[in-house]
Amino acid sequence: MSSTRKLTPRSEPIQKRALERRASILQVTALLLEEVGQDDLTTILVAKRAEVSVGTLYHYFPNKYAILHALGEQWLEEIEIALQELEGFRVESLSLKRFVESCVERMLAAYTAQRGLLPLVQAMKGVPELKDLDGTYNSLIISAMARMFERVEVAERPAELSRLGLAYHEINHAMLLLVVNQSKADSLKTLNDLKYLSLCLLERAKSQF
C-alpha cells in the first residue's frame, strides 16, 4: 500500500449524528460510483452531494480511497452475514439442486443490495489500497463454500474442496455481477445459466467422490 495515502480517519465517529453522517457519505459514494465510476469520483463531488464541507468530509475520510475502503468493508460485512446464514441451514438435508439455488439466491440478494457494486469490486481488484479487501472477500467465499461442499458430500479432501470453492466462486462472482447490471429479462436468463453451471460443477465433483 502506498505510504502517501492514509485510509484511517483522524478519529472514529461514536455519536449518533456522526455515525449517521458517515453512513450518508458512504451511501452517496455508492450512488456516485454508479453515475461517474471510480476514476471520476472525487472527494469534492462526494462532499457536494452529501451536503457537507470538504473539511468535514476529511474529518471522516482523508481521501477517496478511504471512503471506498470503508464502503468495501461494509459490503464484506453483508457478504459475511449471508455466508453465516447459509452455513446455518441444514444443507445436508437439501438436494444438490436446492442447495445451489439457496446459495445463489442468497448471494444475489447481497449483490443486489450494494449500489455501485461493479465499480467498487473493480477498484478492489485494481487499486493497491483496496486489494486487501479483494483478498479477504475471496478467502471468505472460498472457505465458506468449501465447508458447505464437505457437508453436502461433493468432496472430502481439503485441497479438492478448496479447488471447488475457488471454481464456484469465480463462476458465481463474475455472473452475479452480470445479473445485477443487466435488464430484467437478460438477468433472469443469466441467473438460470449460473444455477445450471454451478449445479453441473458440483454434480460432476459428487459423481467422482
Fold assignment, 16-64: Arc Repressor Mutant, subunit A (1.10.10)
Q: Write out pLDDT tens, residues 69-127.
A: 999 999 999 999 999 999 999 999 999 999 999 999 999 999 999 999 999 999 999 99
Task: Give CA–CA dist 5/189, Å, rounded.
Answer: 42
pLDDT of res. 2: 43
Q: Write out pLDDT tens, residues 128-186.
A: 999 999 999 999 999 999 999 999 999 999 999 999 999 999 999 999 999 999 999 99
Fold assignment, 69-207: Tetracycline Repressor; domain 2 (1.10.357)
Domain ranges of the chain: 16-64, 69-207
pLDDT of res. 208: 87
Question: Please, is 46 exposed, middle or buried when counting C-beta atoms within 10 Å of its C-beta (0-12, 13-18, 19+)?
Answer: buried
104-140: buried (b, 16+ CB within 10 Å) or exposed (e) per residue?
Answer: beebbebbeebbbbbbbbbbbeebebbeebbebbbeb
The grid cell for 144 is 465458506
pTM: 0.88
